[in-house]
Structure 1
């Protein structure tokens, strides 16, 4: 029976090639958009989650402001006193305060505005280095006694990346009009912002950016065996007490690596919902096209329906035939859309990788492909319900008399 339905369906498609193609356009554009954008979103989510996970589950991040993605202007600066309170919180092993700015960095005649990190050079620097998994690629890292030394990302060493001609160990660069000597390069961290970072001593940075008694963010390392979430709550309690704040009035943010992942995923979820909504509009248009096509098909084949009913076809057989035809239209459009969507997202990934945005990768979980196929078939079948019901209700005598 199913073979007969398929044979009749494919025969009808072959007789109406142009109409079939035009009907498929809305479905395959919608599915292509859905697959490409969702796969890129999934890949981005996976890449960012992996990077956050690399920060280490024992790290806790403290910033001004009531939310991790808010600007520090909405919060009260983290001071030396806060740093002592954090260090004295239960479960904290070590604390590193950092200055993070977008500064003017000049090499030769090339001036760029770039991320500059002022990090301590005492034993606490290991907290920052372990959080970001910094490994020396060339030269050495910053050490105690350095004043105007810079430890920079690998993009500075490449020709025609940040600079027309890359620099090496011993090269000079200016940060906020002060000359620094490059003492080393760290290995790639996987994204262009981090790979272009310029790290300088904290004491130099606080003079350079006129920030003598405050930090842009603090990294606390939990003691061995301590639960980061519990330690984070202890830090919040300590800082609330020091600042005379009630719970819920915090003008600072304390986040574990897991908190950062959840915050990012929440933002990405909103973006994906918007993207899926846009793709759904295209699918809705495609569904309407299928409905119109099926109505036309029912009218054109009214005589055939009469013949089928006259030789014993039941209403359910006619209903199943037209619903399967509509569903296959959706399935074929979805299959073409998946091929286009996969190809498009792979092209975007290749282009992003060539541009140094290696964290933008397409990810194709099996449920995305299977879900897209089932969804496209369902859209087609639903779009064909009303025309199929109209066809099934036709009386054989009326259908045979139709011209």
Structure 2
């Protein structure tokens, strides 16, 4: 019996192709938006998780309060004595600061200049490794900076690409002009994933002070906890000791200390909230689609009143009538979801392509199986529930009255 009812329901949808098509269109728009948005959210989450796994869980970040803005404009900066103090705190394996300043860079003194960030890299191998792990930087070609590299720099990936930082790509041994001073490129990093970081220029910390004349002040102190210590406990100890060292009251500190794991968790929470808000906005169109399905089903019930009477006259029960109309509404929902996912996939892939072309390689969509199955199941139940009220009305019709209906 159920097979006959399914076949009957599918035939009815096919005979009313135009109406079914319009209903499917109203469904797929909302599903398309939801599918594309969630796929980007999943892609970003995967990127954050991969970065977190590369960096490890033993990292701690120490910054001035409000230090997530421009690193060159914070009112409070750390100095070398601060770094040395942190190194001596129990549970700290190593600590280093990074000098950051804005510089003017030119490929040739007669050509157009760009303003980018220059970062001072420590020359001790363990501290350099700490910085590389934290910023997920890997040297693609050339060598790392070492002590004595006063007029030598490593550059971000963007310099090696044409029409990115400059029209012509930069290679190893090429010369750049930083604040009017000539330097030699001795290393090129692998892409990080966003244009700003991929345009960074890296000096040694000594060269930042002696060659560029930057102040030996740090916007951030990066810390690695000892292998046997809990990073969160080490972070608390550093905060307490440094607060006493600076003679500051609790709650009135000019700095904060946080494990990198907690920073990643905070970012993931913000990302999740943003993604949820966008999905909720997209659900508005899904609600409109649900109303449209209900309207379509009501119209179908009115048009097929006599058919319902005939079906009941030959033995169809209320549950059979209910099943037919709920099934039809559910099929419209699942077809709309499938079409929506197809177009959502195309939009997400196109968005990822353009994002990568612009240098934002971290903005790549991901399509987990649960997302595909979830959209299909959601579409079916949305349609079925939307068609439930008119289907129930149809199932309660009396055969005699239905046959008389004109």
State the TM-score bracket (shorter-chain normalisation): over 0.9
Instruction: State whether residues 99 and 216 of structure 2, in contact with CA within 8 Å, keep that contact through their aligned partners in structure 1.
Output: no
2:48 counterpart residue number? 48
Q: How much is the aligned-residue C-alpha RMSD, in angstroms?
A: 2.3
Question: Would you say 1:281 and 2:319 are equivalent positions?
Answer: no
Q: Deviations over 1:149-177 (max 9, x none)?
A: 21112321222222111122232223333
Kindly tell me the number of residue pairs found equivalent between the two proteins.
Answer: 402
Compared CA separation, residues 360 and 180, structure 1 to 2 (3 A): same
Per-residue deviation, 1:284? 0.6
Residues in 1 aligned to 2:74 and 2:251: alpha-carbon distance in whole angstroms: 15
1:142 counterpart residue number? 145
Question: Would you say 1:300 and 2:303 are equivalent positions?
Answer: yes
Residues in 1 aligned to 2:68 and 2:398: alpha-carbon distance in whole angstroms: 65
Residues in 1 aligned to 2:309 and 2:133: alpha-carbon distance in whole angstroms: 77
1:116 counterpart residue number? 118
1:223 counterpart residue number? 226
Structure 2 counterparts to residues 1-400 of structure 1, below 5 A = 1-65=1-65, 69=68, 76-108=76-108, 109-122=111-124, 124-206=127-209, 212-400=215-403
Residues in 1 aligned to 2:367 and 2:68: alpha-carbon distance in whole angstroms: 28
Compared CA separation, residues 237 and 21, structure 1 to 2 (3 A): same
Instruction: State whether residues 100 and 217 of structure 1, in contact with CA within 8 Å, keep that contact through their aligned partners in structure 2.
Output: no
SS at match of 1:360: coil
Residues in 1 aligned to 2:256 and 2:184: alpha-carbon distance in whole angstroms: 35
TM-score (norm 2): 0.91
- 266-275 or 109-118: bigger deviation: 109-118
Per-residue deviation, 1:230? 1.8
SS at match of 1:173: strand
Compared CA separation, residues 394 and 85, structure 1 to 2 (3 A): same
Residues in 2 aligned to 1:316 and 1:70: alpha-carbon distance in whole angstroms: 63
Instruction: State whether residues 75 and 252 of structure 1, in contact with CA within 8 Å, keep that contact through their aligned partners in structure 2.
Output: no
Compared CA separation, residues 209 and 322, structure 1 to 2 (3 A): farther
Residues in 1 aligned to 2:196 and 2:74: alpha-carbon distance in whole angstroms: 24
SS at match of 1:192: coil
SS at match of 2:9: helix
Instruction: State whether residues 52 and 260 of structure 1, in contact with CA within 8 Å, keep that contact through their aligned partners in structure 2.
Output: no
Unaligned runs of 5+ residues in structure 2 are: none
SS at match of 2:362: coil
Per-residue deviation, 1:295? 0.9
Instruction: State whether residues 151 and 211 of structure 2, in contact with CA within 8 Å, keep that contact through their aligned partners in structure 1.
Output: no
SS at match of 2:367: coil
Unaligned runs of 5+ residues in structure 1 are: none
- 169-178 or 91-100: bigger deviation: 169-178
Q: Deviations over 1:197-232 (max 9, x none)?
A: 210122343468875252111111222322222211
SS at match of 1:388: helix
Instruction: State whether residues 65 and 75 of structure 1, in contact with CA within 8 Å, keep that contact through their aligned partners in structure 2.
Output: no
Residues in 2 aligned to 1:386 and 1:220: alpha-carbon distance in whole angstroms: 62
Instruction: State whether residues 83 and 97 of structure 1, in contact with CA within 8 Å, keep that contact through their aligned partners in structure 2.
Output: yes
Residues in 2 aligned to 1:47 and 1:341: alpha-carbon distance in whole angstroms: 20
SS at match of 1:215: coil
SS at match of 1:49: helix
Per-residue deviation, 1:138? 2.9
Q: Deviations over 1:51-95 (max 9, x none)?
A: 2332232221111116x7456667732233332331121111211
TM-score (norm 1): 0.92
